[in-house]
Structure formats: structure tokens, C-alpha cells
A = this chain, B = another copy of it.
Amino acid sequence: MLDFTFQLPTRIIFGRNRLEKIGGEIKKNANRVLLVYGGGSIIRSGLYDRIIEMLKDNGIFFAELSGVQPNPRIDSVRQGVELCRKHDLEMILAVCGGSVIDCGKVIAAAYYYDGDPWDFFTRNTRVTRALPIGAVLTIAATGSEMNGNAVINNDETKEKLGLFHPLLYPRFSLLDPTLTFTVPADQTAAGSADIMSHIFEQYFSPTPGTYVQDRMAEAMLKTCIHYSPIAIEEPDHYEARANLLWTSTLALNGLLSAGKATDWATHMIQHEVSALYDVTHGLGLAILTPHWMQYVLNEDTLPKFVQYARNVWQVTAADDGQAAREGIDKTAQFFVSLGLADRLSEVGVEENQIEEIARKATAYGSLGRMKKLDAGDVANILKAAY
């Protein structure tokens, strides 16, 4: 186990009908907020009206930034910063999924920076201050509700880059499983693949002696495997939605990475796919993950894959190599069983772009910790997944 520091300053408010709670949480921080959201889904579901009512009941002034896209654009960040400055806003309230929260986080930091917000991602500047952030989650997937991460797309440079800063932890996040009842089957499936991928990126690690972290990761993987089919079959199954929502938060709040080197190669590759083709993040991960597993499976990494197969999938094969392969096959079959595509060719990726994706994914160096991947390795994984 490696040395680590660990702290979770975000206040999670979890459960049914607790929206009225957050008026007080906001007023601890601000009287003027930027309401950030995505498309029409929160309007259709009635959540938008309930939030507006809650803000008005609490006498909170607000301006709106709508239309934040999945794979959020740096342009939305720029617009948000302008609105905050124009209206002297004091806090960000992000409503929706991870893309909206990520966008809100970068607006919060960029408010205090005179240059262009993309500078945070190119490392031309660092976060030094940020407006407080609150989140209302409507999909189980991202983990952004209880961490300091943000990932943003730049259409001009065709890049998708990430940022972490402790100031970007939301002050509070409302997790109401009933708000996820309206998430359609394909998005529920992609969200589950995203959660599981977050767990894999931390579980598959070369750091020895991380027994408690690994058993907790397996606990969360089993939860996803158990409840994802139920949530797809029965969208208003509270228990399934609650377990998936809480697991999505626990899977990326630092609990599973404390004391470990983590991999993140699959995410880095997927980011480049999404930057070029706007593939749903979780869907891209579902396609790539089994091929990443197969590619990095070797003599050194075998024990971890055997442990995964036996503990998560109850694989009983006596031969270690066979057990590991069965675990990987079951992973791929599980994603397909959720209705997710299993080929990059099915989601619009062009074969002649594979080398370019591989080149961009490794532009800042090789990827991964389980096995270091260079551009050639990444291209091989992409071809296998094509």
C-alpha cells in the first residue's frame, strides 16, 4: 500500500424528496447562483420547475446556462464565466449528470482567472480559487458529485482533457434516486459501464498489498452487476437506482484509489474517441474495456485478473489462464447483455482514424500502469475493438 491523504469535504444529501433541503445548503454559501443544466430532460421531468420554485422560495437570485452537452465544451465554460461576471453570481448550481457538474466546476475556477479557461487544461495556469459548487444529480455514472475532477472537450483543438483540484469538490450534492427513474435504458447501461470502468481503472493496479481497497472495489462491481439489469428492466426500482447511484459516487471519490497507483489507460483512449466522434462516454468504455483487459493480460498481470474472475464472477476454472480469460469474457458479455454495442465500427468510428486516435491518446506520454501502452499498443487495442 502506498502513502496517501484522504478527505471527503462534500456533503452528500441522499434520498427521496430532499430537494427542499438544498435551499439552506445554498444559502450557507451564496444568494446569487448560476443554474447550469443540459438539454430538455430536466424540463420534461418537471425537475426544472421544482428547482426554480425552490430558488424563488429561498429568495435566491439566479441566471441560467442551459444546453451544456454530454462531453461538455469549453465554450459552455466561457459562457458561464461571462454570466457569473455579468450578474455578480456567487455560486454554481449544476443540475444533471457529470458533464454539467464538470462544466460548472471549471466555470467556478475560471471566474477568478483573467485568461482563457482552456489554460487550466493545457497547464498554462493553475486553479487558485473557485466559486462554491453545488450539484443535483440525475444519473448514476460520473462520480463528479464527490470529487475534484473535471473533463472538458475543446472542439477547435479536438481535445478532451482533465483537471483535478481540491477546490473543485462540490460543497454539497443531492442524490435522489427517484430523479434517475427517467433515465432511459441505453443511458442507464452506459452509466453502469462508466461506473464499472471507474472501478476497473483503480482495481487493476500494480500496487501490492491493497487488500481492503480491492475487496471494496469487488463489492462495488458486484453491486453494478446485480442492479444494472434490474434498473434497465424496471426503471423505477428504487433499491436498484439507489444502490447504483450511491455506488457511482463511492466508485470515484478516492476510496478505491487511496494507497494505489491507478491505471486510467482505457479512459484516456476513450477520451480521444469521444473528442473525435462524440460517442457516449460509458458506451465507449464498455466497448474498449474487454479489449484493454485482453491486451494487458500477461504473466505479470495474470494474478489480478484471476482474482477478478474468481471474486467478482465466481469463475471456478482451476487453470489460472483460463479463469482470467473467462472473467474477461464475462465482462464483455455483461455489457452486451445491457444492450450496449461491442464494436467501435458500430458507433461511427472510422477505421482510418485509429492511428490518429492512438497518436493523440499518447501525445503526453505512454498510458497506464498495469502495462505501459505506447501509440502502437493503443492502436492494437482500438483495432481489436473495431
Residues of A within 8 A of B (CB): 1-16, 18, 208-209, 211-212, 215-216, 218-220, 222-223, 226-227, 238-239, 242-243, 246-247, 250, 255, 258-259
Contact = CB atoms under 8 A, between A and B. Distances in A.
A258 B247 CA distance: 12
A11 B5 contact: yes
A223 B223 CA distance: 19
Contacts of A16: 3
Contacts of A10: 7
B258 A246 contact: yes
Contacts of A11: 5-7
Contact of A208 (B14, B239, B255): B239
Contacts of A259: 14, 242, 246
Nearest to A247: B212
A13 B219 CA distance: 25
Contact of A211 (B215, B227, B250, B255): B227
Contacts of A246: 1, 212, 258-259
Given A239-B209, A259-B242, A4 B15 contact: yes
A238 B18 CA distance: 44
B15 A7 contact: no
Contacts of A250: 212, 255
B8 A4 contact: no
A94 B16 CA distance: 39
A24 to B, nearest CB: 12
B15 A212 contact: no
Given A211-B226, A243-B209, A246-B258, A12 B3 contact: no
A209 B273 CA distance: 37
A64 B75 CA distance: 57
A18 B2 CA distance: 12
Contacts of A218: 215, 219
Contacts of A258: 14, 246
A162 to B, nearest CB: 23
Contacts of A208: 239
Contacts of A216: 216, 219-220
